[in-house]
Chain A
Amino acid sequence: MTRDDELPPELRRLGLEPDDLDGHTIEELSDYLDADRTPADPSIEGSPGCQLALQAMRRLRALSHSLMDADVAATPAPDEGWIGRILEGIALDARAGRRIPLDHADPTADLAITEGAVRGLIRAAETDVEGTIIGRCRLTGDLTAPGAPVTISVDASVLWGENLPGMAERLRAAILRRVTAHTDLTVEAIDITVYDIHRLSRAGEEDRT
Chain B
Amino acid sequence: MSTTESDALAGALEALVLRVPGVTTLYRSGSAVGAVTATVVSALRSSSSKGDRLVLVGESGEGRAVTVTIGIDADSAAEVCRAVHDAIADHLRGLGLVSGGIEVTVAQVVQ
Contact = CB atoms under 8 A, between A and B. Distances in A.
Interface stretch (A95-103, A151-159, A163-171, A191-199): A95-103
Interface in A44-86: 45-49, 51-52, 55
B107 interface: yes
Contacts, number: 116
Given A102-B78, A117-B77, A48 B71 contact: yes
A99 B105 contact: yes
A96 B107 contact: yes
Interface in A126-147: 127
Chain B interface, >50% SS class: mixed
A121 B109 contact: yes
Interface in B57-84: 69, 71, 75-78, 81-82
Nearest to A52: B108
Interface string B29-42: 00111111111100
A110 B82 CA distance: 10
A84 B47 CA distance: 38
A120 B111 CA distance: 8
Chain A interface, >50% SS class: mixed
Interface of B: 25, 27-28, 31-40, 69, 71, 75-78, 81-82, 85, 89, 99, 101-111
Interface of A: 19, 22-23, 42-43, 45-49, 51-52, 55, 95-96, 99, 102-104, 106, 108-114, 116-117, 120-121, 124, 127, 181-184
9 contacts: A46-B38, A52-B108, A96-B34, A102-B77, A102-B81, A102-B82, A109-B104, A120-B108, A121-B109
